[in-house]
Amino acid sequence: MKATEILMKEHQNILLVLNRLEQLLNMPLDKNMDEYQLIIGFVEEYSDSYHHMKEEDIYFKWIEKHSPSLKEGPVNCMLSEHTTFRDLTANAKNALAAFIENGAQDAQETVVASFKMFIDLLRAHIGKENEMLYQMAERLDERVNCGDEEMLGEYNKVELKYSAEIKRYEEYCSSLGE
């Protein structure tokens, strides 16, 4: 399904940013504040609002509609992990704000710890989606043969809503892939 391919391409962008974030965590926090802010924006706007919206509001609902039994297992697991990513991002964002305001060293430790956990969990999460859940959806679509028909129009609405932000973040991802 093209719907699956789109989500997997977005995963590639997310993985590029995770690689860059991992590099930043090995450098002094105060030397890369602008890029940390950019990455937090990427995580909140691209990864969560844009990508997770497609998954949660469109792709996962399509899976549940055509195979309700998948809701209780893999879909709920992915939704729970999305909530964990939001919490870790909020922790890092709040600690980064505290570091900017008063240079607190414990804030730097919180930023690093939150983002390290975020990176590890999100890489594993993407692997589960790409290798398990999306493959289940592909097999399901072989039976019902309506995935793209039902989802791509909704994807386009999400892309229109976030078009300006997405262009900026995709340019950032392109610069990381060079």
Residue-wise pLDDT tens digits, 102-143: 877 788 889 899 999 999 999 999 999 999 999 999 999 999
Angle between helices 2-24 and 163-176 (to 10 degrees): 60
Reference 89, options 64, 105, 110; nearest CA is 110
Would you state the structure tokens that stand for residue 139, as one six-digit string?
Answer: 């097999």
pTM: 0.94
Tokens of 160: 């229109």
> What pLDDT score was predicted for residue 29?
85
Domains identified in the chain and CATH numbers: 2-176 (1.20.120)
Lowest mean pLDDT among 5-9, 92-96, 98-102, 120-124: 98-102
